[in-house]
Amino acid sequence: MMEIAKARSLSEQELVEELESARRHLYDLRFQLATRQLTDYSQISQTRKDIARLLTVQTERKLAAGSGSGSGVAAGGE
């Protein structure tokens, strides 16, 4: 289980590598599920949550980097 604090402490490259690893692990778990080899079904939901945490950290960093550019929502008119 990846804690959010640990995910935030990773560098950008480490974050990408962890995300790739988690996605591969989820693929393997789904394959095991399809072939009826998986015994601990909670691993699937846990891995999905880990992926979500990593993606959240990536999004936070992108928003923090882009917040200085002043990109606001344009007002729509008729």
CA distance 71 to 78: 22
Burial of 29 (0-12, 13-18, 19+ CB in 10 A): buried
CATH number of 13-66: 1.10.287.310
pTM, rounded to two decimals: 0.80
User: So what's the pLDDT on residue 66?
Assistant: 87
Neighbours of 52 (CB within 10 A): 11
Query: How does pLDDT run across 34-62, given as a tens digit for each residue?
Result: 999 999 999 999 999 999 999 999 999 99
Spell out the alpha helix ranges (H) of the chain: 4-9, 12-34, 42-66
On average, the pLDDT of the chain sits at 89
End-to-end CA gap in the chain: 50
